[in-house]
Amino acid sequence: MTNQIIEISFTVTPEAVRSFHDDGVVILHAGNGRLFTSNETGARIWRGIEQQLPLEAIAKEISNAYQIARTTAREHTLNFLAALEQQALIKREVAS
């Protein structure tokens, strides 16, 4: 049995339009007209998605920026990504 690392990354859906501001990010789902807002941490995660960074790279950046444990950063990043995915603002991609 081999130990295989699975990289999870996300891409922005074509319906998502974003606008960064001093306090975070505003995201419009152009398909249904729903508006979503997030703080600076959410904006950092969104930038990571736009840069097509894998989950672990985004969590590392959050961990370093806020000086929190990597596991904590990963958990919160996953929760935020799941919420974005549920609203059809991003799509999951898995590569091994």
Residue 75: phi, psi to the nearest 5?
A: -60, -45
pTM: 0.88
Indicate if the pLDDT at residue 3 is higher than 60: no
Domain at 38, CATH number: 3.90.930.60
The answer to the question of residue 1 being in a domain is no
Amino acid 94 reads V
The pLDDT tens digits of the residues spanning 19-42 come to: 999 999 999 999 999 999 999 999
Count of domains forming the chain: 1
> Structure tokens of 23?
């306090």
Indicate if the pLDDT at residue 90 is higher than 70: yes
The answer to the question of residue 91 being in a domain is yes
Indicate if the pLDDT at residue 43 is higher than 70: yes
DSSP character at residue 89: S
The answer to the question of residue 22 being in a domain is yes
The answer to the question of residue 2 being in a domain is no
Domain span at 54: 7-95
